[in-house]
């Protein structure tokens, strides 16, 4: 069992059905045909030679197949990670140099190590720093940046390198007069073919068709002589093991980017992995996925690649082509190895415009307008984080944008926590039920008894708001006799030290005003905290199992039952409470 947990590959190999082989073989060949041009295109996006993309698509796939838990996830270079790689390396290392290649490999190893540390430390929950809505906004902005970064390849121009998206746009427009007509025609034709096949012939690998067609066009019409830029010679040497230079200053500079790539890459990967795991009725384990992707990135860096993760489009193709197990991915890796060893001379005449078109076609779907509309319908306040992430990424850049996106996610959460949902409750006639008077017209407010429910943990974030709210309702309760306030605590699942202190202040203030505070439906974790701060003992005769019982006691002018255990108000004292009591008594 321990071996299966560390090496999930042992699970699917033991239960492998021979009837799956044909499906896995078909999926592996299909994704391999798709990945060859995509890997080269994404390497170009990262500022790397095409062969680096191929290197990143070999041993990384094998490593993930050994350690990952998804049976359909297709690991390899992806657009956003490629752009993040370029954004991190371009300011510190000159593109096209050996140092740039080494830095890319080092970054892959660092990304892998971050993944592994998070996986071993069971820190998968940290990816929740990015909410879904914020990720949608960030991804859309990143897709626009990626897509526009390839316009220069479609036009055959060479604008000056810009540090911002708007600088890139300005640079492209400034060079429009230098557009190479032949390059533009190749780029536009490639886009038309890609979109046409995607709409009417999804099973045909459009990227491969574009690659082969554009190579033939370059050779037949001598397009190089007409100014069409091509990738040139691609080495046919297989990826070889090599330790990157672990320069201390470079590691420190790249560390923030390694974290960003880990968070973004893992969120993209785990999201698509869970979709297909549900569809095929098996589970993916988040922390083991971190280990699988960590192993994939370390392997990629040690064999001349750059950071990788699971991709949406390739995984969809892998699953639709019939992939049943990671054997399909191993076949894909074999296809890439065979391509490097025997077919790279065929790609010498591959135009950059075709690769740029492949990237644009791949990322255009990342601008998910339908999902944005869905978020707006479900929860309009989520649009704040979405728009913030989108604008920040476009204006400030990918790396700063993701930082702002994380902050935006946290601010949205804190904003909701600071003013939690509360309800004034009324009695539903002929029942023992109390409901929100704003939603239930039949619910009747009881004169002199104000009943409120707080649907959130009480903590330092919202303590001040809760205090003002309860004091205000307590004052309203004084308008008629008996002048009592009932807090239905059934929606409060936790309370911290600040919250407990605030409750104590509320009790004192209400007592001074002549308002008795009663509690009902107090949950175990909240009871524990109230015991430790002695508030439970102080309020013991005003704590009830239910709101109905609280109202009955207040109306009758009596107190809560003294036997709290028998009436379901409290359980027997917990050992930690007894320990705290003993310590205080001995001080």
CATH value at residue 447: 3.30.750.24
Q: Closest by alpha carbon to 392, among 372, 407, 411? A: 407
pLDDT in tens, 331-370: 999 999 999 999 989 889 999 999 889 888 878 877 888 9
Residue 78 forms part of a structural domain: yes
Give 517's pLDDT tier (boundaries 50, 70, 90).
very high
Which tens digits make up the pLDDT trace of 96-105? 899 999 999 9
Let me know whether 450 and 382 are in one domain.
no
Task: Quickly list DSSP for 536-563.
Answer: HHHTGGGEESSHHHHHHHHHHT----S-
Does residue 503 lie in a domain region?
yes
Give CA–CA dist 326/221, Å, rounded. 42
Q: Is 217 within a domain?
A: no
Judge if 397 and 267 occupy the same domain: yes
Task: Round to whole Å and give the CA distance between 583 and 587.
Answer: 6
| Tokens representing residue 369 in the block | 């307008």
Please give the share of the chain, as a percent, with pLDDT higher than 90: 49
Residue 29's domain spans which residues? Answer: 2-173+230-344+366-412
Average pLDDT score over the chain: 87
| Residue 206 domain flag | no
Segment 410-443, tens digit of pLDDT: 787 788 888 899 999 999 999 999 999 999 999 9
Residues 370, 467 share a domain? no
- Residue 187, domain member (yes or no): no
Contact criterion met (CB below 8 Å) for 424 and 437: yes
Q: Does 115 score more than 80 pLDDT?
A: yes
Q: How far apart are CA 551 and CA 474, in angstroms?
A: 15
Return the closest-CA partner of residue 150 out of 92, 211, 217, 83.
83
Residue 235 lies in a domain: yes
pLDDT for residue 407: 81
> pLDDT digits over 549-558, tens only?
999 999 988 8
The verdict on 429 and 562 lying in the same domain is yes
Cα–chain-centroid distance for residue 27?
27
Do residue 309 and residue 436 come from a single domain? no
Q: pLDDT per residue over 547-583, tens digit each?
A: 999 999 999 888 888 777 777 777 766 555 554 454 4
Question: Does one domain contain both 301 and 424?
Answer: no
Mean per-residue pLDDT, 239-263: 89
Tens of pLDDT, residue by residue over 458-507, are 999 999 999 999 999 999 988 888 889 999 999 999 999 999 999 999 99
Alpha carbon distance 218, 187 (integer Å): 12
Is the domain of 394 the same as that of 431?
Answer: no
The count of domains in the chain is 2
Q: Please check whether residues 243 and 321 belong to one and the same domain.
A: yes
Q: Are 376 and 495 members of one domain?
A: no
CA distances in angstroms from 324 to 282, 314, 475, listed in the order given = 11, 15, 65
The reply to whether 518 falls in a domain is yes
pLDDT at position 572, please?
63
**What pLDDT shows up at residue 108?**
97
Tokens of 481: 């006799």
The confidence score (pLDDT) of residue 587 equals: 47
Together in a domain, 277 and 375: yes
Same domain? For 323 and 372 the reply is yes
330: Cβ contacts below 8 Å, ≥ 6 apart: 28, 61, 62, 65
Are 258 and 115 found together in one domain?
A: yes
Confidence class for position 305, pLDDT limits 50, 70, 90: very high
Supply the pTM of this predicted model: 0.76
Tell me the sheet residues that pair with 422: 454
Residue 583's pLDDT is: 44
């Amino acid at each position: 069992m321990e071996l299966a947990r560390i090496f999930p590959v042992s699970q699917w190999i033991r239960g492998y059905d021979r009837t799956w082989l044909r499906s896995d073989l078909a999926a592996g060949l299909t994704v391999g045909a798709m990945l060859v041009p995509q890997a080269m295109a994404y390497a170009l996006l990262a500022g790397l030679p095409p062969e680096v993309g191929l290197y990143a698509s070999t041993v990384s796939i094998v490593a993930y197949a050994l350690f990952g838990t998804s049976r359909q996830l297709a690991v390899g270079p992806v657009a956003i990670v490629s752009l993040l790689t370029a954004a991190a390396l371009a300011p510190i290392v000159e593109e096209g140099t050996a140092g740039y290649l080494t830095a890319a490999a080092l970054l892959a190893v660092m990304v892998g190590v971050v993944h592994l540390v998070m996986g071993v430390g069971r820190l998968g929950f940290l990816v929740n720093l990015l909410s879904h809505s914020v990720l949608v906004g960030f991804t859309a902005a990143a897709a626009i940046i990626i897509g526009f970064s390839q316009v220069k390849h479609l036009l055959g121009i060479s604008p000056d390198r810009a540090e911002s998206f708007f600088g890139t746009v300005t640079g492209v427009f400034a060079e429009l007069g230098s557009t190479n007509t032949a390059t533009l025609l190749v780029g536009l034709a490639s886009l038309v073919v890609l979109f046409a096949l995607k709409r009417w012939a999804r099973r045909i690998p459009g990227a491969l068709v574009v690659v082969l067609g554009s190579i033939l066009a370059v050779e037949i019409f001598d397009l190089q002589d007409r100014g069409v830029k091509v990738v040139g010679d691609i080495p046919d040497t297989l990826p070889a093991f090599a330790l990157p230079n672990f320069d201390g200053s470079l590691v420190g500079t790249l560390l923030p980017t390694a974290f960003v790539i880990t968070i973004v890459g893992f969120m993209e990967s785990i999201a698509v992995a869970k979709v297909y795991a549900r569809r095929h009725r098996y589970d993916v384990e988040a922390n083991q996925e971190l280990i699988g992707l960590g192993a994939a990135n370390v392997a990629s860096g040690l064999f001349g690649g750059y950071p990788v993760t699971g991709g949406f489009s390739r995984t969809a193709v892998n699953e639709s082509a019939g992939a049943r197990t990671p054997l399909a991915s191993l076949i894909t890796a074999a296809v890439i190895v065979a391509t490097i060893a025997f077919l790279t001379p065929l790609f010498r005449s591959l135009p950059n415009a075709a690769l740029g078109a492949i990237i644009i076609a791949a990322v255009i779907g990342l601008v998910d307008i339908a999902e944005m509309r869905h978020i707006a319908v479900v929860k309009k306040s989520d649009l704040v984080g979405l728009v913030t992430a989108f604008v920040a990424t476009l204006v400030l850049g990918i790396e700063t944008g993701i930082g702002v996106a994380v902050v935006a996610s946290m601010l949205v959460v804190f904003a909701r926590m600071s003013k939690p949902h509360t309800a004034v409750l009324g009695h539903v006639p002929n029942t023992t039920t109390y409901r929100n008077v704003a939603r239930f017209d039949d619910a009747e407010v009881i004169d002199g008894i104000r009943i409120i429910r707080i649907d959130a943990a009480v903590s330092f974030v919202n303590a001040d708001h809760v205090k003002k709210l309860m004091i205000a309702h307590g004052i309203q309760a004084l308008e008629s006799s008996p002048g009592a306030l009932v807090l239905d605590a059934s929606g409060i699942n936790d309370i911290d030290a600040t919250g407990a202190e605030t409750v104590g202040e509320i009790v004192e203030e209400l007592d001074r005003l002549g308002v008795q505070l009663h509690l009902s439906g107090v949950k175990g974790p909240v009871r524990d905290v109230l015991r430790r701060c002695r508030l439970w003992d102080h309020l013991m005769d005003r704590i009830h199992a239910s709101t109905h019982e609280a109202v009955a006691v207040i109306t009758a002018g009596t107190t809560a039952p003294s036997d709290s255990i028998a009436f379901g108000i409290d359980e027997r004292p917990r050992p930690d409470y007894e320990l705290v009591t003993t310590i205080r008594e001995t001080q």
